[in-house]
Amino acid sequence: MNVQFIEQNGTRQYAILPVDTYTLLLEKAEMLDDIKAYDEAIASDDVFIPSEVVERLIAGENKIKVWREYRGISQVALAGKVSMAQASIAQMEVGKRVGSISTLKRIADALNIDLDDLV
């Protein structure tokens, strides 16, 4: 590595290096920061939701339907898990029916989400 040092009172104070070397060092430092952030995210207890799911929820799509489809569960399967008719789930998903808090809690549990994610 082609580095020039500037000393002051016998102690190295500055290092002068080629721009290419400086740029490479910056890129490597940024990469290490990214790796550290990734490692911290993976080690956390946070739940990661794909952006497509978040975008659908923000756009106002029915929350039960979005979460059900994200979990890969059919209306029939969800209805079976919560002891409801499939038609009731379908009506809730199109907004023709509103579930009680206890019903929404059972649906949330079946979808492995918090009740807050549905209300």
Residue partners of 99: CB distance under 8 A and separation at least 6 = 92, 107
Q: Of the candidates 117, 21, 23, which has an alpha carbon nearest to the alpha carbon of residue 71?
A: 117
- Asked if 81 and 105 sit in the same domain, the reply is yes
- Please tell me the pTM assigned to this model: 0.64
List of the chain residues with pLDDT < 70: 1
What pLDDT is recorded for position 40? 86
Overall domain count for the chain: 2
Contact 100, 111 (CB under 8 A): no
Host domain of residue 57: 51-117
**Are both 55 and 110 inside the same structural domain?**
yes
Question: Which pLDDT does position 43 carry in this prediction?
Answer: 83
Side-chain half-sphere of 73: how many Cα atoms within 13 Å?
Answer: 22
Note the pLDDT of residue 47. Answer: 74
Q: Are residues 13 and 70 in the same domain?
A: no
**So what's the pLDDT on residue 41?**
80
